[in-house]
Structure 1
Amino acid sequence: MATGVDEVYKCQVCTNVVIVKKSGVGVLVCCGKPMQPTKE
């Protein structure tokens, strides 16, 4: 999965939020689970 600049991802376990600043390839993981894209 590729991430794009300024996309927002949220952890469904601890609710941490990540804003992507440099695009890349891979899966963002937090608390051992993939983070989900969000509109936050």
Structure 2
Amino acid sequence: MKGPTAPYDGYDEREDTEEKVRQALAFLQVLFLIFKFPKN
């Protein structure tokens, strides 16, 4: 055990990464819809 701050930092990093992944997936989904249904 490295102390009470080590696991806390790990959880924070994980949540931040999950948020970035969620935003990236939403961005890709929007791009996919734009390319799949092009506006004339």
Tell me if TM exceeds 0.5: no
Q: Which structure: larger Rg?
A: 2
Greater percentage in helix: 2
* TM-score, with length taken from structure 1: 0.16
Q: More relative contact order in 1 or in 2 (CA 8 Å, sep 6+)? A: 1
Greater percentage in strand: 1
* TM-score, with length taken from structure 2: 0.16
